[in-house]
């Protein structure tokens, strides 16, 4: 459509770019949820089996949705953590190391203090959150005080974390077999395991922080205009350090859910979280240069990533197709969310 027709006051109403960018992630999610059953239907149709579209779908079933929710829960926590950082216009790549350290520290504390939630060992849960907070705090200090770009500081801290986790475990796996703790996975309310509700609670807390606290507002202010935030008397360094600390706490939440899901804490617990969480944040529509987006975007993003992973398994596509698709999706998301007329140079 040419710009001159758009200028006509009585012309057809166009969907504005902002509206499109805002709702595109949700639209993608809905399309995906309808697309995978279509593949199933096509396959069964080809094989001559009876298949009613959507109703007979293996993908579109409560059981499978619970599966998606389980795999999405730890990733959601980690992705929320990094959302806050990206809102500030920085990036945190320390999640894999932090998750590993928190998982291992949790398991060690848990077993050391009795090995069951019915004992003092429940203290290992807040303990793990504190470990996450401390790691995030150090991460923030390194970034702010030593003036190292956040991606480099956090990447380095992530490696330190992975190494530290290996040092703690000596390469062993630590089993957490307490039934009460494993009820995160084993006990189901309305078909969904407890961990999904824990993740939902985490999301609501994050939403509260984002929209109702000075800290959340400060994230947007720093991401939207750091110079201005400074000239308005905000302590930007303090906001950054607190942001990284908060991210650390959410990484620890992710670690707890990850351990709850498989019952094992090891150095490799954190593997894969970096790709999933960053992808999810970006695909969800949070802008990489900060100031735009939020935790609900991240929820959609995490669901998109997990629906793709799960759906491709259901219709039987190999792993590399999944990764490739996600990669393309990231590019598409950034392309869509970037107003390229206003961004003249990208470094």
What gap in Å lies between CA 339 and CA 118, rounded to an integer?
A: 54
Binding window for another protein (CB under 8 A); candidates: 56-64, 170-178, 223-231, 277-285? 223-231
Six token digits for residue 327: 């990669």
The yes or no reply on residue 344 touching another protein (CB under 8 A) is no
What gap in Å lies between CA 75 and CA 36, rounded to an integer?
A: 22
The yes or no reply on residue 232 touching another protein (CB under 8 A) is yes
The yes or no reply on residue 6 touching another protein (CB under 8 A) is yes
The yes or no reply on residue 224 touching another protein (CB under 8 A) is yes
**Which of the residues 305 through 334 are near another protein (CB under 8 A)?**
none
Helices 273-283 & 295-314 angle (0-180, nearest 10): 120
CA distances from 250 to 15, 32, 77, 89, 132 (A): 36, 28, 5, 18, 8
Backbone torsions φ then ψ of 174, nearest 5 degrees: -110, 120
The yes or no reply on residue 231 touching another protein (CB under 8 A) is yes
Out of 114, 115, 163, 225, which residue is the one contacting another protein (CB under 8 A)? 225
Out of 127, 161, 291, 311, which residue is the one contacting another protein (CB under 8 A)? 291
Q: Nearer Cβ to another protein, position 164 or 219?
A: 219
What gap in Å lies between CA 230 and CA 157, rounded to an integer?
A: 27
The yes or no reply on residue 235 touching another protein (CB under 8 A) is yes
Sign of CA dihedral 204, 91, 78, 163: negative
Binding window for another protein (CB under 8 A); candidates: 58-66, 122-130, 210-218, 316-324? 210-218
The yes or no reply on residue 292 touching another protein (CB under 8 A) is yes
DSSP 270: G
* Binding residue count for another protein, defined by CB under 8 A: 25
Q: Nearer Cβ to another protein, position 219 or 273?
A: 219
DSSP 265: E
**Chain residues that interact with another protein, rule: CB under 8 A:** 3-4, 6-7, 212-215, 217-218, 220-221, 224-225, 227-235, 291-292
């Amino acid at each position: 459509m040419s710009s001159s027709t758009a200028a006509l006051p009585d012309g057809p109403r166009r969907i504005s770019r902002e509206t499109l960018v805002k709702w595109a992630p949700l639209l993608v999610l809905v399309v995906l949820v309808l697309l995978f059953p279509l593949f199933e239907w096509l396959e069964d149709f080809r094989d001559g089996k009876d298949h009613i579209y959507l109703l007979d779908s293996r993908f579109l079933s409560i059981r499978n949705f619970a599966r998606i929710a389980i795999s999405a829960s730890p990733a959601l926590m980690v992705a929320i953590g990094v959302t806050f950082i990206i809102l500030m216009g920085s990036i945190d790549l320390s999640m894999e190391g932090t998750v590993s350290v928190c998982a291992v520290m949790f398991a060690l504390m848990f077993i050391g203090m009795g090995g069951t939630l019915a004992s003092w060992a429940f203290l290992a849960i807040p303990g793990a959150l504190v470990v996450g907070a401390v790691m995030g705090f150090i991460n923030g200090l390194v970034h702010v005080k030593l003036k190292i770009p956040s991606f480099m500081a956090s990447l380095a801290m992530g490696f330190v974390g992975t190494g530290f986790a290996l040092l703690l475990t000596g390469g062993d796996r630590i089993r957490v077999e307490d039934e009460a703790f494993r009820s995160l996975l084993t006990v189901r309310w309305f078909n969904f395991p407890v961990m999904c509700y824990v993740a939902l609670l985490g999301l609501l807390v994050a939403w509260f922080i984002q929209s109702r606290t000075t800290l959340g507002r400060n994230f947007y202010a720093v991401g939207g205009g750091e110079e201005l935030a400074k000239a308005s008397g905000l302590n930007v360094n303090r906001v950054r350090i607190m942001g990284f600390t908060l991210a650390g706490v959410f990484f620890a939440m992710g670690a707890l859910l990850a351990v709850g899901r498989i019952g094992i804490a090891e150095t490799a617990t954190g593997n894969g979280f970096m790709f999933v969480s960053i992808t999810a944040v970006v695909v969800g529509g949070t802008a990489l240069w900060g100031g735009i987006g939020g935790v609900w975007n991240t929820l959609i993003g995490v669901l998109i990533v997990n629906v793709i992973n799960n759906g491709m398994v259901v219709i039987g596509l190999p792993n590399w197709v999944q990764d490739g698709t996600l990669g393309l999706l990231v590019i598409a998301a950034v392309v869509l969310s970037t107003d390229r007329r206003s961004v003249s140079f990208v470094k």
